[in-house]
Structure 1
Amino acid sequence: MNQYRTLLPHVVEIALGAGEKLLALYEPDNRPADRTQIFEAMRRNENAVSSLRAELKSTRPQATWLPDELESAPLPDGEWWVVDAVEGNINHVHGTGEWCVTITLVAGGEPVLTVVRAPIGDNTYTAIAGEGAHLGTKTLRVAEKHDLADSLALTGQAEHGQTDTHQAISQSIGAMLGQNLLVQATVPSTFPLLAVASGHADVFWQYQPTLPGVAAGILLATEAGGTATRINGTPWTPGSSDILVSNTTLGAQTSNILTRI
Structure 2
Amino acid sequence: MSSSRDMELTQRFLALQGIAAEAAALAMRYFEDRDSLAISLKGAQDWLTEADGAVETLIRQRVAEAFPDDGVLGEEGGGAVADRLWIVDPIDGTANFAHGDRTWCVSIGFMMNGTPELGCIAAPALGEIYLARKGHGATLNGKPIRAAATNDIARSTLEHGWSPRLPVEQYLATVARLFGAGANVKRSASGALGVAAVACGRTDGYVEGHINSWDVAGGVVIAAEAGARVSDFFAGDWTSGNPIIVAAPGVADAVAEVSGIALSPAASGTD
TM-score by length of 1: 0.84
Distance 1:168 1:10, change over 3 A: same
CA distance in 2 between partners of 1:255 and 1:198 (Å) = 20
Distance 1:106 1:47, change over 3 A: same
The answer to whether structure 1 residue 117 and structure 2 residue 122 are counterparts is: yes
* Distance apart, 1:259 and its partner CA: 2.8
* Distance apart, 1:37 and its partner CA: 4.4
Q: Which amino acid aligns with 1:242?
A: P
The answer to whether structure 1 residue 184 and structure 2 residue 162 are counterparts is: no
Instruction: Pick 1 or 2: higher relative contact order, CA cutoff 8 A, min separation 6.
Output: 1
The answer to whether structure 1 residue 43 and structure 2 residue 49 are counterparts is: yes
Q: Is the 8 A contact 2:207 2:259 kept in 1?
A: no
Distance 1:70 1:96, change over 3 A: closer
CA distance in 2 between partners of 1:130 and 1:37 (Å) = 40
Distance 1:70 1:48, change over 3 A: closer
Who is 2:265 aligned against? Answer: none
Q: Is the 8 A contact 1:31 1:95 kept in 2?
A: no
Distance 1:122 1:67, change over 3 A: closer
Q: Percent identity between the aligned chains? A: 22
Distance 1:110 1:70, change over 3 A: farther
* 3-state SS in 2 of match to 1:42: strand
Q: Is the 8 A contact 1:227 1:245 kept in 2?
A: yes
Q: Which amino acid aligns with 1:259?
A: G
CA distance in 1 between partners of 2:234 and 2:85 (Å) = 14
Who is 1:56 aligned against? Answer: 63
TM-score by length of 2: 0.81
- Give per-residue Cα distances to partners, 1:213-240, cap 9 Å, x unaligned: 11111111100011111xxxxx432526
Gap regions ≥5 residues in structure 2: 262-271
CA distance in 2 between partners of 1:176 and 1:22 (Å) = 35
* Distance apart, 1:149 and its partner CA: 0.7
- Give per-residue Cα distances to partners, 1:167-190, cap 9 Å, x unaligned: 321111011013234101231101
Who is 1:246 aligned against? Answer: 247
Distance 1:236 1:145, change over 3 A: same
Distance 1:45 1:134, change over 3 A: same
- Give per-residue Cα distances to partners, 1:156-211, cap 9 Å, x unaligned: 1103xx2x443321111011013234101231101111110000100111111100
CA distance in 1 between partners of 2:97 and 2:140 (Å) = 22
Corresponding residue pairs, total: 246
The answer to whether structure 1 residue 139 and structure 2 residue 107 are counterparts is: no
Judge which range, 178-187 or 11-20, deviates more: 178-187
Q: Which amino acid aligns with 2:120?
A: V
CA distance in 2 between partners of 1:202 and 1:61 (Å) = 39
CA distance in 2 between partners of 1:15 and 1:144 (Å) = 30
Distance 1:194 1:180, change over 3 A: farther
- Give per-residue Cα distances to partners, 1:41-80, cap 9 Å, x unaligned: 9331123322211211222233211266998xxx856121
* Distance apart, 1:153 and its partner CA: 0.7
Judge which range, 103-112 or 75-84, deviates more: 75-84
Who is 2:19 aligned against? Answer: 14
CA distance in 2 between partners of 1:170 and 1:90 (Å) = 20
The answer to whether structure 1 residue 172 and structure 2 residue 174 are counterparts is: yes
* Distance apart, 1:128 and its partner CA: 0.5
The answer to whether structure 1 residue 196 and structure 2 residue 201 are counterparts is: no
Who is 2:264 aligned against? Answer: none
Judge which range, 20-29 or 126-135, deviates more: 20-29
Q: Which amino acid aligns with 2:116?
A: P
* 3-state SS in 2 of match to 1:143: coil
The answer to whether structure 1 residue 26 and structure 2 residue 44 are counterparts is: no
Gap regions ≥5 residues in structure 1: 230-234
Distance 1:184 1:76, change over 3 A: same
Q: Which amino acid aligns with 1:43?
A: T
* Distance apart, 1:38 and its partner CA: 4.2
